[in-house]
Amino acid sequence: MRADPLLVCQQDVQDKNNCYNKAIDATLKTHGLSAAFDLLAEAYNADPGYLATCHAETHELGKEAYKEFHATGRVELSDKTSYCGYGFYHGFMEELIYENNNFDEARAFCSYAGTVVPNPPGYAEGACYHGVGHGVTDGTDPRVWGDAQKIAAPGLALCKEVAGGNTDHAYRCASGVFNAVALMYRDAKYQLTIGGEPFSLCGSPNFTTTEKDACYDQMNTLATFAANYHFGKAIAFTEEISDPHYRELAVRGVAGTYFSTARGRKMIVSPKEVSGVCSALTHDADACITGVVVGIQEFGTPGAEYTDMLLLCGSPDIQASLLPACYSTLLSATKQFYGSVGLREVCTSVPDRYKQNLCV
């Protein structure tokens, strides 16, 4: 019965994605959060172009879920809340911060998410803290627009407070801050200019090591935007980073946007392009292919992301030198997200020489 709205949307050639979103919102009201995520997954499977919108729609699901949590202290969570890049938690925290700016409640929900959705360990709770940083920064005082450091500063300060000394939580929260800042460059109202170097902000001496790590990872969307969504040109920006640790983080981060950018813009996901760009890197080829695979796990087919990862690693267009890292990341991600059952299924498609000790 839930497929009927999708059939209607297939005929809505002017704005299919908006039609999908309305159907998902209606399902949320009548059948609950789990059913809404099921329909979202069906929309994605029916039309891969929906990837361009599904992350934003999960934000909306998160905002609605916050209202229930605020009223009752509970909300229906499952592994489905990871769909489309964990946007659910971003929206949830944006709404919480907008409504009451209560960081005790934020910490309580993040802990609750980690308990209710314990696998993979730390992912749901980490995505929640990422949402805290994102939500705080989205509400930045307009008087500091035009200065990326000043925009980031209040969020980073609050991240230290809400993390309570937990380094991982501080990192995930800071990643939300820098993700929000990176996206602001696309909107003229924030008065930010790239200046030809999308990672220049990250070198600021005002940032801690944890904050720099988060920045070099999360400026990936800015690099992709500055390169006009050209994968090779976006990766080329990382070559200006002299520190090998930060360069590797940046390469992995930029590569992580490849799948979602291609699918969201209705472009062909090209293993040949991935292989050509990654293998051309002198020092960070493995980081590059690893980033692409991780990006597929984050934005691939909901509930079956491993199928998209297998298509990449199993392509004859992927150079042999990249295959160990490709399959290793695929197997590790599958074990984390799908456990032993999913791993056994994937292992049947992995060549013996790349199974390592994970396929037993």
Q: How many CB atoms lie within 10 A of CB 13?
A: 8
Q: How far out from the chain centre does Cα 6 lie?
A: 25
Taking alpha carbons only, the member of 67, 39, 50 closest to residue 12 is: 50
SS3 assignment, position 350: coil
Q: At what angle do helices 323-347 and 285-299 cross, to 10 degrees?
A: 40
* pLDDT at residue number 148: 96
Q: How many CB atoms lie within 10 A of CB 290?
A: 25
Q: 197-228, pLDDT tens digit by residue? A: 999 999 999 999 999 999 999 999 999 999 99
Label residue 338 by pLDDT band (50, 70, 90): confident
* pLDDT at residue number 12: 66
* pLDDT at residue number 1: 42
- Residue count of the chain, please give it: 360
Label residue 103 by pLDDT band (50, 70, 90): confident
Compute the radius of gyration of the chain from its Cα atoms: 20
- In the DSSP assignment, the letter for residue 302 is T
Label residue 138 by pLDDT band (50, 70, 90): confident
pLDDT of 183 > 50? The answer is yes
Q: 76-85, pLDDT tens digit by residue? A: 888 899 899 8
For 15, 203, 270, 342, the CA distances from 213, given in Å and listed in that order, are 38, 10, 29, 31
342's enclosing H/E stretch is: helix 323-347
Long-range contacts of 141-149 (CB under 8 A, 24+ apart): 145/189, 145/190, 145/191, 145/192, 146/190, 146/191, 146/192, 148/181, 148/184, 148/192, 148/201, 149/201, 149/204, 149/206
Rounded to the nearest integer, the mean pLDDT of the chain is: 92
* pLDDT at residue number 3: 46
Judged by phi (left if over 0) then psi (alpha if -120 to 50, else beta), residue 73 lies in: left
Long-range contacts of 107-111 (CB under 8 A, 24+ apart): 107/162, 107/164, 109/69, 110/169
Say how far apart CA 259 and CA 249 lie, in whole Å: 17
- Mean pLDDT to the nearest integer, 330-350: 91
Q: 236-288, pLDDT tens digit by residue? A: 999 999 999 999 999 999 999 999 999 888 888 999 999 999 999 999 999 99
**269 with 263: CB under 8 angstroms?**
yes
For 9, 97, 308, the CA distances from 266, given in Å and listed in that order, are 17, 34, 15
Express the helix, strand and coil content of the chain in percent, nearest 5 each.
75, 0, 25
- Mean pLDDT to the nearest integer, 157-172: 93
Say how far apart CA 309 and CA 292 lie, in whole Å: 9
